């Protein structure tokens, strides 16, 4: 057992995947010699060489297109998009080619590519460095979309994503890169899957009876803090960590909503047409007669991400989520 940050947990998961399968290659701007902007790939090029941990030219569309071609020839590329806002030059490659090739080829072509995207705010970054574009990809059939909320899940889920035969968009909450947890980061969870479970199954992060908070990625910790604060006022909040945005574990959401009768969905992305809208619609359809209040959503404003000095006003925080909890409980 060791105390490990999320960044180190992902690094360990990547190292194990590289050791397990010689067809796994990492590609991304500055991931080799520098070890990535957040040092997530630190030391991997020194261990595996520059033919498996590759520093390509600064061209996201070219990186993604190259990865697709490599996957067609049997490789398993893991592509890092340096920051969330840099993914858009590669958007056409991802949604038009990566997502659709398996279906278009009637199953003959598989593209087992993982696209790692550090995402979200909270680190005081400059423009185009704090986006939350997950809804774009969740809306695209043919892609799996995952986001871990803690170091252990990051360690497990990155290995499972690389082993998956489908393309996976792997959103890493950058403000949680330095969160720590104690676990053994040397276990190959693909070779030894006992006790790990499916990455596409939601996790009950905290049991509760009065209301369900649903979140993923960076907002799970915020929701756990909200539940702790609510407990001091005598309220029991359940926290569901979605983990997989697409496919979505609707069964766990429905079971929790049926138990508590109230639900608040929290994410950093804008509320309008966000992942929370899909969750609210699904839960309302299936739990209409058992809900005690409408499903409420808390998220970012419907505006471009603001300058770093005022990002606190844009992002959901403990007070905004507690306000939604109060509103739901007052119905």
What is the DSSP annotation of 90-148?
A: GHHIIIIIITTHHHHTTTS-----EEEEEE---S---TTSS---HHHHHTSTT-EEE--
pLDDT of residue 194: 81
The dotted CATH code for 203-329 is 3.40.50.920
Burial class (CB in 10 A: 0-12, 13-18, 19+), 259: middle
pLDDT per residue, tens digit, the chain (331 aa), is 899 999 999 999 999 999 999 999 999 999 999 999 999 999 999 999 999 999 999 999 999 999 999 999 999 999 999 999 999 999 999 999 999 999 999 999 999 999 999 999 999 999 999 999 999 999 999 999 999 999 999 999 999 999 999 999 999 999 999 999 999 999 999 998 888 899 999 999 999 999 999 999 999 999 999 999 999 999 999 999 999 999 999 999 999 999 999 999 999 999 999 999 999 999 999 999 999 999 999 999 999 999 999 999 999 999 999 999 999 999 9
Q: What positions carry a catalytic annotation?
A: 129
Specify the domain boundaries for CATH 3.40.50.970 within the chain.
2-183
**Helix or strand (DSSP H, E) at 212:** strand 211-215
CATH class of the domain at 2-183: alpha beta
pTM given for the model? 0.96
Specify the domain boundaries for CATH 3.40.50.920 within the chain.
203-329
Q: Which of 230, 232, 225, 219 is nearest to 260 (CA)?
A: 230
């Amino acid at each position: 057992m060791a105390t490990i940050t999320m960044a180190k947990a992902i690094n360990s998961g990547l190292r194990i995947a590289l050791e397990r399968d010689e067809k796994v290659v990492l590609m991304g701007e500055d991931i080799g010699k520098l070890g990535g902007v957040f040092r997530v790939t630190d030391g991997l090029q020194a261990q595996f060489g520059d033919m498996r941990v590759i520093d390509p030219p600064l061209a996201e569309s070219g990186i993604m297109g190259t990865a697709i071609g490599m996957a067609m020839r049997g490789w398993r590329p893991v592509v890092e998009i340096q920051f969330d806002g840099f993914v858009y030059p590669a958007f056409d490659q991802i949604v038009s080619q990566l997502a659709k090739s398996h279906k278009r080829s009637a199953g003959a072509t598989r593209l087992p590519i993982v696209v790692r995207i550090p995402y979200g705010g909270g680190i005081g970054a400059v423009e185009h460095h704090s986006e939350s574009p997950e809804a774009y990809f969740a809306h695209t059939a043919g892609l799996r979309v995952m986001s871990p909320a803690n170091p252990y899940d990051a360690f497990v889920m990155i290995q499972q994503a690389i082993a998956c035969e489908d393309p996976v968009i792997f959103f890493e909450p950058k403000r949680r890169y330095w969160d720590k947890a104690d676990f053994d980061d040397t276990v190959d969870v693909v070779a030894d899957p006992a006790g790990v479970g499916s990455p596409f199954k939601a996790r009950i992060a905290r049991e509760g009876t009065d209301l369900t908070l649903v979140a993923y990625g960076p907002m799970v910790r915020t929701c756990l803090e909200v539940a702790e604060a609510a407990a001091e006022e005598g309220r029991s909040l359940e926290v569901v960590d979605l983990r997989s945005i697409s496919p979505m574990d609707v069964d766990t959401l429905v079971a929790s909503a049926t138990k508590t009768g109230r639900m608040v969905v929290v994410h950093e992305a804008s509320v309008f047409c966000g992942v929370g809208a899909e969750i609210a619609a699904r839960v309302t359809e299936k739990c209409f007669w058992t809900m005690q209040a409408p499903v409420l959503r808390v998220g970012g404003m419907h505006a471009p991400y603001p300058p770093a000095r005022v990002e606190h006003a844009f992002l959901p925080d403990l007070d905004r989520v507690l306000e939604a909890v109060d509103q739901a409980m007052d119905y």
